[in-house]
C-alpha cells in the first residue's frame, strides 16, 4: 500500500535532492483530483546523469534497497524501471509514450501541495499512446475529468 | 447543470464534484489499493532499455487479465 504519508516523504526527499520529476498516469490524475483507484505510482523523471544520481540518493534515503548495478541502471536512465524493493512500489519512467520531451511536460506541470504533476493533457496523451486495455478503460473518464477541470479554471 | 458542464455525464460530474470536496490525503487514501499481480510482483527490480522492450515484456509474460496488453480497439 502506498500511503499518503509515504507520498509526502517522496515529495520531500525529491525536493531535498532537487530531483526533477512529475507524477504521471493515474497517480498523477489522482493528485489533480481524479476519483479512481490504482495500484501503481508512476513518476516521470528527467533523463540526465545529475538527475539520476539525485534520484538514487533520494530513493536510498526513502528506504529502497538498490545494489550498485541497480543504482547504475537508474543513473544511466533506462527508459522504464520498476521498483518493488522499498517501502512501496514505484515505477520510474524516463521516456513515457505520448510525451516528447521532459522539458515540455515540465513547462506544463501542475504543482499540487508541493507535488510536481503532469498536466492532464499529458496524462491523457501518455495513456492514449500506451493503448493498453487498462488505459482504454480509464481514458473516457479522464477526458471527462479534463472537461471538468476546464470548468474549474484549471 | 451549467452549460459549461453539459458535456460531462451526470454521474461522472457528481463523482468529480464529490472528490473535489475531499482533502488530498483522503483522496489518496481511497485511491491506492494493493492486490497481488502475478508475474509482475514476483521480482523486486526490473529495468528496461526502452519502453518498447517493456511493452513487449508485458505482452509476452503477463496474464492478459491484468490489462497490460495492447488494446485491440
Distance of alpha carbon A97 from alpha carbon A20, whole angstroms:
18
Tell which wins on pLDDT, A97 or B6.
A97
Burial code of A105-141, b = ≥16 C-beta within 10 A, e = fewer?
beeebbebeebbbbbbebbbbbbeebbbbbbbebbeb
**CB of A48 less than 8 A from some CB of B:** no
A112 - beta bridge partners?
A: A115
Q: What is the pLDDT of residues A14-54, one digit of tens each?
A: 999 999 999 999 999 999 999 999 988 999 999 999 999 99
Closest Cβ opposite residue A84 in set B43, B50, B53? B43
pTM for this structure? 0.94
DSSP assignments along B7-72, one per residue = TS-HHHHHHHHHHHTS-HHHHHHHHB-----TTGGG-SEEEESSHHHHHHHHHHHS-GGGS-SBP-
Q: How many angstroms separate the first and last alpha carbons of chain A?
A: 30
Closest Cβ opposite residue B33 in set A35, A37, A147? A37
Distance from CA of B64 to the nearest CA of A (A): 9
Residue A43 phi, psi (nearest 5): -125, 125
Size of interface A-B (CB pairs under 8 A): 136
**CB of A153 less than 8 A from some CB of B:** no
Closest Cβ opposite residue B8 in set A37, A70, A147? A147
Instruction: Give the closest residue to A49 by CA, choosing from A9, A29, A20.
Output: A20
Distance of alpha carbon A17 from alpha carbon A41, whole angstroms:
19
Within 8 A of A34 by CB-CB distance, chain B residues are 16, 19
pLDDT > 90? residue B4: no
**CB of A100 less than 8 A from some CB of B:** no
Burial code of A18-43, b = ≥16 C-beta within 10 A, e = fewer?
ebbbbbbbbbbbbbbbbbbebbbbbb
Distance from CA of B40 to the nearest CA of A (A): 9
Contact B16 A145 (CB under 8 A): yes
Within 8 A of B54 by CB-CB distance, chain A residues are 79-80
Q: What is the pLDDT of residues A91-141, one digit of tens each?
A: 999 999 999 999 999 999 999 999 999 999 999 999 999 999 988 889 999
Q: Which three cell numbers stand for residue B64?
A: 492478459
ipTM for the whole complex: 0.92
Strand duo A42-45 + A90-93: pairing: parallel
Q: What is the pLDDT of residues A68-86, one digit of tens each?
A: 999 999 999 899 999 999 9
Distance from CA of A94 to the nearest CA of B (A): 9
Amino acid at each position: 500500500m502506498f500511503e499518503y504519508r509515504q507520498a509526502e516523504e517522496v515529495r520531500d526527499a525529491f525536493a531535498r535532492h532537487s530531483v526533477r520529476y512529475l507524477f504521471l498516469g493515474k497517480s498523477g490524475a489522482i493528485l489533480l483530483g481524479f476519483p479512481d483507484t490504482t495500484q501503481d505510482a508512476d513518476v516521470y523523471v528527467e533523463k540526465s546523469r545529475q538527475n539520476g544520481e539525485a534520484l538514487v540518493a533520494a530513493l536510498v534515503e526513502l528506504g529502497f534497497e538498490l545494489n550498485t548495478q541497480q543504482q547504475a541502471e537508474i543513473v544511466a536512465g533506462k527508459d522504464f524501471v520498476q521498483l518493488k524493493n522499498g517501502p512501496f512500489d514505484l515505477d520510474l519512467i524516463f521516456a513515457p509514450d505520448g510525451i516528447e520531451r521532459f522539458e515540455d511536460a515540465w513547462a506544463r506541470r501542475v504543482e499540487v501541495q508541493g507535488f510536481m504533476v503532469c498536466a492532464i493533457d499529458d496524462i491523457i496523451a501518455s495513456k492514449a499512446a500506451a493503448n493498453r486495455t487498462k488505459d482504454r478503460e480509464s481514458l473516457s473518464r479522464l477526458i471527462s475529468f479534463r472537461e471538468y477541470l476546464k470548468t474549474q479554471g484549471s | 447543470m451549467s452549460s459549461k458542464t453539459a458535456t460531462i455525464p451526470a454521474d461522472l460530474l457528481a463523482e468529480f464534484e464529490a472528490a473535489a470536496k475531499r482533502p488530498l490525503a483522503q483522496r489518496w487514501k481511497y485511491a491506492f489499493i494493493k492486490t497481488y499481480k502475478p508475474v509482475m510482483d514476483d521480482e523486486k527490480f526490473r529495468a528496461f532499455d526502452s519502453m518498447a522492450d517493456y511493452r513487449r515484456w508485458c505482452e509476452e509474460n503477463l496474464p492478459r487479465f491484468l490489462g497490460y496488453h495492447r488494446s485491440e480497439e
